[in-house]
Amino acid sequence: MAYMVAVPASPALVMGIEDFVNAVKHDRNNSAELYIRMVDHMTDRMLSLFMIEPSQMITLSSTQTKVIDFAVATAGKASHMLSRQIYKKVSNKEFAPIVARFSQLYWPAGEDNDNQAHLRFAIDDVFAIEFMAVAEQCAAGQGEQVVDRMSAVMDRLSDEIIQNFFVANNDHVKMGFVTQKAVDIGIDGSRKAIRAVNHKVLKGLNASQLKGFMGHYAPIVRAV
């Protein structure tokens, strides 16, 4: 059996993907701007999924809320700045392999996904089975026994999404040493921020709350 990650796409992200792909396919001159806008929407979706949504599952102090809000705003601005620096002069010909990737990533709304568009990609069996096993234990009210395993699979999930949504696209464009270093630092910072929020949230949840937490994320990992 094969498995995949499928993240529901917001209406803004759906429009962003379709506008970018159509611009490249029709050789329009605004493809770079549309790509940057699409990445902004992907960034918003990722930050919402891994930082905003989990933080809403617990009661945070005003200081903790401000820290998360600052981290989200900073990550969004950094992503936009780097995307513009990397892609502002990329041609439609250079965008072609990225469009090919999105033809695989983008899962348009239809009967096979409850009329909800997603971004999807394949994952290995070992990770998928472990993720589902943890989700099942949480659903059975045994989440407090698997918090460390839950942290591990959530870390892996966020890493996989960062790799497939962002890093894999960067592999198709040329960038200088300084820009590559800035990208590496930005991605590493995002990973650490996401992990910090998830670890903080998970340590503060009881069995019932852990059931709700994994119930929120469980549909993202599924059999094909």
Q: Are 32 and 74 in contact (CB under 8 A)?
A: no
Q: What is the pLDDT of residues 17-57, one digit of tens each?
A: 999 999 999 999 999 999 999 999 999 998 888 888 877 77
pLDDT at residue 12, rounded to an integer: 95
Residue with token string 């069996």: 125
Q: Are 4 and 122 in contact (CB under 8 A)?
A: yes
Ranges of each domain in the chain: 3-223
Phi, psi of 161 (to 5 degrees): -70, -45
Is the pTM for the entire model greater than 0.85? Answer: yes
Q: What is the pLDDT of residues 174-219, one digit of tens each?
A: 888 888 888 888 888 888 888 887 888 888 788 998 998 899 999 9
Phi, psi of 114 (to 5 degrees): 55, 35
Q: For residue 221, list its beta bridge partners.
A: 5
Q: What is the mean pLDDT of residues 97-118?
A: 95
